[in-house]
Structure 1
Amino acid sequence: MEGKNFSFAILKGFRFGLLLQFAVGPMCLIVFQTATAYGFIKGLSVVFAIALVDAFYIALSCVGVAAVMSRPGVQKTVKLIGCIVLVFSGVNTIFSAFHRNLLPDIPLFPDVTGGSLFMKGVVLTASNPLTIIFWSGMFSTQMIENNWKKEQLFLFAAGCVMATIVFLTGVSLIGSMASGFLPSALIQLLNAVVGFVLIGFGIKLLVKKDNARKTEEMA
């Protein structure tokens, strides 16, 4: 019976993780863009970077870091840093799509290697650590609804991370196959689109910060 509960927890986590992936975000586009430009293996390096940061944030949410992250002062600082990272990366990506460097002497990710792409994935995924609060709320809900123990919650989290790896590996595979018949102009356009998406998510962070401030003023 206990084994069935454990299987249910990991399966539920996998299903929930897939549901989150279908809400296509900037990292999904970056995996596709990377695989299209550099191939499946280098696309995988970004996938594992995303999964690693997700797993790290999930672990932090389980040990109570969300309580610190939910403080208004901390949130403002984190959102500002995340916004700067996303907007700068987005602008740099747009410049790169047209074979220009935003900072010629200090390129953001100078060498196109598995290691540099992995670090790019880590930096961009980590740019919004407020997801710790999301995971903390989600885990609390799951524990209450299912009367789970810590072991089952761990399996639920593992299922979520597995879903990220499986889904984005598929995206990387599709991107690598598409690179064979996509014209260079379309790949260039895709790179520019990814840049604008990153900028959009950065602005979204700023809007959320402003809305939070307005709410405080009205209270």
Structure 2
Amino acid sequence: MILKGFKFGMLLQLAIGPVCISIFQIAVLKGFYAGEIATLGAALVDGIFIAIATLGIASIINKKNIRICLKMFGSIILFIFGISMILSQFHINFLPSLCMYNIPNSNGIFIRIVILTASNPLTIVFWAGIFSSKVAEENMKKQDIYFFGFGALLSTITFLTLISLLGSFANVFFSTQVIQFLNIIVGLLLIYFGLKMLLKNK
């Protein structure tokens, strides 16, 4: 079940999102160690979301009014991160505490990624749907669900570690101008993900 969860989770990781892009950017700017700190932050939130999904609490979040509020909250967070990232490339401090250049230590990186990952609590609903379908398909017992979830969480750590490694290598080969351009692209993508979340019907 752990292997099944891992393989299924790796398939889901291919749908690149704002957290993956942010961890790549962190590794480019701060190196592999910083990227791994960010990976642990993302894994912590994913682990909490998966636990909530397996416990069935996601049905509360699935209510229409709560979903709308969460979508608005998540969209605003992503939009603020994106704007801050773009403006920082032109030496404009929109929100200095969110700028990667101004994060002095690993604690700041960890908290930044935790906020970014948690900005989309609808992921809980997504995981709940995944677990519901897999329980029916595999006829899972309670213990099997926990192992499957653990495997899915391992896939998050593995995939984001690879992204972090890739980013740390990119740091060696990319010029300052290329990294600056990359940061602007990351900012635009975060804004795109925020707008996409806000405008999504379901």
Quote the residue 1:19 is aligned against. 11
Alignment of 1:21-100 (within 5 A): 21-100=13-92
Rounded Cα–Cα distance in structure 2 between residues aligned with 1:83 and 1:32: 21
The yes-or-no answer on 1:174 pairing with 2:169 is no
Map 1:159-198; keep pairs closer than 5 Å: 159-198=151-190
| Secondary structure in 1 matching 2:51 | helix
Partners of 1:197 and 1:132 lie apart in 2 by 22
Query: What SS is found at the alignment partner of 1:23?
Result: coil
CA distance, structure 2, for counterparts of residue 95 and residue 112 of structure 1: 19
Using the size of structure 1 for normalisation, the TM-score is 0.87
Looking at structure 2, the residues matched to 186 and 112 of structure 1 have their Cα atoms a distance apart, in angstroms, of: 23
What amino acid does structure 2 have at the position aligned with 1:130?
A: L
In the alignment, structure 2 segments of 5+ residues that lack a partner are none
CA contact (8 A) 1:98 1:188 kept: no
Q: Confirm whether residue 124 of structure 1 aligns to residue 102 of structure 2.
A: no
Match of 2:129 in 1: 137
Counterpart code for 2:39: V
Q: CA deviation at 1:144?
A: 1.2
- What per-residue deviation string (whole Å, max 9, x for no partner) do you get for residues 160-188 of structure 1? 11011111111111111111110111101
TM-score normalized by structure 2?
0.94
Task: Give the percent of matched residue pairs that are identical in Structure 1 and Structure 2.
Answer: 44
Q: Matched residues in 2 for 1:108 and 1:203: separation?
A: 19
Q: Aligned partners of 1:114, 1:103: CA distance in 2, in Å?
A: 19
Contact 2:54 2:146 in 1 (8 A): no
Alpha-carbon offset, residue 47 of structure 1: 0.6
Q: Displaced runs of 4+ in structure 1, greater than 4 A?
A: none
Gaps of 5+ in 1: 1-8, 213-219
The 5 A counterparts of 1:197-208 are 197-208=189-200
Determine if contact 1:18/1:167 at 8 Å carries over to the other structure: yes
Question: What SS is found at the alignment partner of 1:24?
Answer: coil
Distance in 1 (alpha carbons) for counterparts of 2:167 and 2:125? 32
Opposite residue 3 of structure 2, the aligned amino acid is L
The count of residues paired between Structure 1 and Structure 2 equals 200
Q: Is the 8 A contact 1:12 1:156 kept in 2?
A: yes
Contact 1:11–1:156 (8 Å) recurs in 2: yes
Whole-Å separation in 2 of the counterparts to 1:128 and 1:195: 17
